[in-house]
Amino acid sequence: MVKKKKIAWGITGAGDKILETMKVMEKIRLEFEDQVDIEVFISKSGDQVVKYYGISNDIESNFDRVWVEINANAPFLAGNIQLGKYEFMLVAPATSNTVAKIAMRMGDTLISNAAIMGQKADVPIYILPSDVEEGVTITQLPDGKDLKITIRKEDVEHVEKLAKMYETYIIKDPHELVGVFRKHFPE
């Protein structure tokens, strides 16, 4: 039997696109279950959000391993990414805060630290920012109601900065994640 590759999936405190990302990742897990283990790393804020959206149990039961941030180095994700234990890191969805931290090289959280260390070790980093384009957008709250938010140019500038970084890729829609896995794990 061939040893499965590992993927690190980081979840931050972004509620926008979290439900859609979860559905896509469940499908990806089924499609690639013979090739890859998806290990989930949830930031402190992400832990609040997955509970708020009612998907905490789904994540626990559908993915290989799940960790919640204790601090920027615990669990030891950054080191394991640098050691090549993961094919790539996925941050989906990513808050504007996490995007800014990675863009500004502030590794003071589990996810931002791991992404920055991954970049330094030439590990591909795929990021699904919640704030990609300037303007008004509508997101859905856990109760199904819509919430209007305005994405500012400063948030978009951080996304654009990330997009220029080596082995760092911006994903605009959760459905694009399937293509990422097919690229890394062709049949």
**Rounded distance, CA 59 to CA 49, Å?**
12
pTM: 0.93
∠ CA(156), CA(162), CA(167), 5° rounding? Answer: 150
Domain boundaries along the sequence of the chain: 5-184
Q: Does CATH place domain 5-184 in 3.40.50.1820? A: no
pLDDT of residue 1: 64
Q: Of all residues in the chain, what percent carry a pLDDT higher than 90?
A: 83
Strand ranges for the chain from DSSP E: 5-11, 36-42, 65-68, 88-94, 125-129, 135-140, 146-151, 168-170
Split at pLDDT 50, 70, 90, the class of 118 is very high
**Can you spell out the DSSP letters for 45-71?**
HHHHHHHHTT-HHHHHHHSSEEEE-SB
Tell me the pLDDT of the chain averaged across its residues.
94
pLDDT at 136 over 90: no
pLDDT at 187 over 80: no
What average pLDDT does the segment 27-32 reach?
Answer: 96
Q: At what angle do helices 96-103 and 110-120 cross, to 10 degrees?
A: 40
Cα 151 to Cα 82, 126, 133, 136: the distances in Å are 33, 21, 7, 6
**Rounded distance, CA 133 to CA 117, Å?**
26
Split at pLDDT 50, 70, 90, the class of 132 is confident
SS3 of the chain: helix, strand, coil, percent, to 5: 40, 25, 35
pLDDT at 134 over 90: no
pLDDT of residue 69: 97
Split at pLDDT 50, 70, 90, the class of 64 is confident
Count of residues making up the chain: 187
pLDDT digits (tens, 9 = 90+) for 145-173: 888 888 889 989 999 999 999 999 999 99
